[in-house]
Structure 1
């Protein structure tokens, strides 16, 4: 009898910033390998904590430093035939510059409603209202 596949553990952030005209904007990343719009996230390295992995992935994928805030819901789904679990945090961008790379070729900063509509996967969309609730904004 074959044991069930091990769960892939990953972490990421719903990265946000204060918009110039008021309100907030959410950062989405475009992954050319999948041609999708997603939130910055990635697999944890051996021995890495979820929060450390989330912050590392944000920096690698967006070039942005950030300050983590509230823990957001964990997203669970199947990827490449294995269960995957992604822990998320709200995180405010504090600085840095995006440079296209092999994993992420574009980023978009959008108002929450537009960000939610642009996200490719339904599993990511519920994280936007979770972010707004955590920040106490609508």
Structure 2
């Protein structure tokens, strides 16, 4: 069955592509509703799911946090700031055969992997340096 893309679907896709920040569904909805106050949260969520199924965007799951939507659909790694929770792309080659080097005693069939690095982003690091400098003044 061929499903046509709706105006709302195009709007959601455009928003994810414009945000480029691994936004949550709520963040995407809040961005859209500012200019389109009549759009429902359910419409945004439904179209995010649809766009994922179509391969236009990718849903990324982050432990301990909300799912996020990525405009980059190719396999790549991410870093998450432990202070603010923002997610960033990591510039490194994707290791597509890493599963083959796992010693598995449980009969597990590996189908892929996600690696999430953690650290402190530049903005939070700068804020901390300013706070530290003020505390010592």
TM-score norm. by structure 2 comes to 0.23
Question: When you count strand as a share of all residues, which structure comes out higher?
Answer: 1
Question: When you count helix as a share of all residues, which structure comes out higher?
Answer: 2
TM-score norm. by structure 1 comes to 0.23
